[in-house]
């Protein structure tokens, strides 16, 4: 009788512990899923057909109390709207978008270093024809707000505009290219997948542990295998999805990342103009890379396909 009672108490204690962990896990991931981003961005299509203005001006003033940021943000928004009103591609329109980008950079330099400011800077740069600067701005916004669909959509659109993109080498198993395998799936999708899988894991585990041990022993072996397989699948999916997000945050591009901000960039075999070209074709603006080494005025970079070489530091922007 005492043995049966102790066994029941141990099962009850384990169930309560499992339930407590499950509840807190569900609450934690639920809060992350519904939590608004630190600074909101205006919804915008991947084709950038609508305005990029956001509520940065009011939010910046509340967070920093700087009237300069408010004035600069308002000026940037006005310049962007002015550019949209002008004929697309005209000199005046490009100049308006350039002024908007300059004002957003001043907002950022003044302390408004939030995802909305970088997002709007990317929109202005892309409209102004500065593809490399736009991609760099979008990527900084994505790092600050990795689950924002608008940022992901506009970054994808900017990447599609690269004249000669360089695809990752599927046979290259180094970290710099391994992370591109999972980057096919957007960060918001991977985040939600991790949250859902983690929640399902704890709910299934709680349900399984709540059943009496005697009833579980009487189950068919196939039923037990199915239960364990589903629970382990949910756990593995959650760990893998969350792991890719952690790696992207802690080790982006295996080191410092960068983007080419000029077109027809020559990738050289050494850090000097006297060195020959490492590849036949020049690199297009907007091509992304990892920075392996830095010398005065030069970067040693790694391209997505695994090619290494040197470029002048003025040809790109580090992220």
Q: Pairing mode, if any, of strands 316-318 and 308-312?
A: unpaired
Q: How many C-beta atoms surround the C-beta of residue 140 within 10 A?
A: 20
Question: Residue 274: pLDDT above 90?
Answer: yes
Question: Residue 278: pLDDT above 50?
Answer: yes
Cα 3 to Cα 97: distance, rounded to the nearest angstrom: 78
Work out the pLDDT band at 49, boundaries 50, 70, 90.
very low
For residue 62, the model assigns a pLDDT of: 39
More confident residue, 108 or 35: 108
Mean pLDDT for the chain overall: 78
For residue 105, the model assigns a pLDDT of: 94
Work out the pLDDT band at 173, boundaries 50, 70, 90.
very low
- What sign results for the dihedral spanned by CA atoms 304, 259, 175, 271? positive
Contacts of 125 (CB under 8 A, 6+ apart): 97, 101, 131, 133, 134, 137
User: What structural domains does the chain harbor?
Assistant: 1-35+168-250 (no CATH), 56-160 (1.25.40.10), 255-318 (2.30.30.40)
Contacts of 139 (CB under 8 A, 6+ apart): 155, 257, 259, 319
Overall average pLDDT of the 162-167 stretch: 91
Looking at the chain, which runs of residues are DSSP E strands? 256-260, 288-295, 298-302, 308-312, 316-318
CB 247 within 8 A of CB 146: no
For residue 127, the model assigns a pLDDT of: 94
């Amino acid at each position: 009788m005492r043995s049966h009672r102790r066994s029941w108490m141990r099962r009850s204690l384990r169930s309560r512990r499992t339930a407590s962990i499950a509840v807190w896990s569900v609450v934690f991931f639920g809060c992350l899923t519904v939590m608004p981003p630190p600074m909101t961005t205006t919804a915008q299509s991947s084709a950038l057909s609508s305005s990029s203005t956001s509520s940065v001006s009011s939010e910046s003033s509340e967070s920093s109390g700087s009237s300069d940021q408010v004035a600069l943000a308002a000026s940037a928004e006005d310049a962007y709207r002015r550019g949209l009103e002008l004929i697309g591609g005209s000199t005046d329109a490009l100049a308006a978008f350039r002024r908007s980008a300059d004002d957003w950079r001043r907002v950022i330099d003044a302390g408004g270093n939030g995802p909305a400011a970088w997002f709007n800077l990317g929109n202005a740069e892309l409209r102004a024809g500065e593809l490399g600067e736009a991609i760099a701005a979008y990527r900084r916004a994505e790092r600050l707000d990795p689950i924002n669909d608008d940022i992901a959509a506009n970054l994808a659109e900017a990447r599609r505009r690269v004249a000669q993109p360089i695809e990752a080498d599927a046979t290259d198993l180094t970290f710099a290219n391994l992370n591109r395998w999972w980057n096919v799936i957007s960060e918001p999708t991977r985040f939600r997948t991790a949250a859902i899988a983690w929640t399902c894991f704890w709910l299934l585990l709680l349900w399984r542990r709540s059943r009496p041990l005697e009833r579980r022993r009487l189950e068919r072996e196939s039923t037990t295998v199915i239960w364990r397989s589903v629970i382990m699948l949910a756990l593995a999916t959650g760990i893998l999805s969350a792991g890719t997000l952690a790696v992207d945050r802690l080790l982006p591009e295996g080191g410092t990342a960068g983007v080419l901000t000029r077109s027809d960039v020559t990738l050289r075999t050494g850090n000097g103009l006297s060195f020959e070209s490492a590849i036949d074709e020049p690199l297009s603006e907007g091509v992304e890379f990892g920075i392996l080494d830095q010398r005065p005025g030069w970067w040693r970079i790694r391209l997505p396909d695994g090619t290494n070489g040197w470029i002048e530091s003025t040809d790109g922007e580090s992220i």
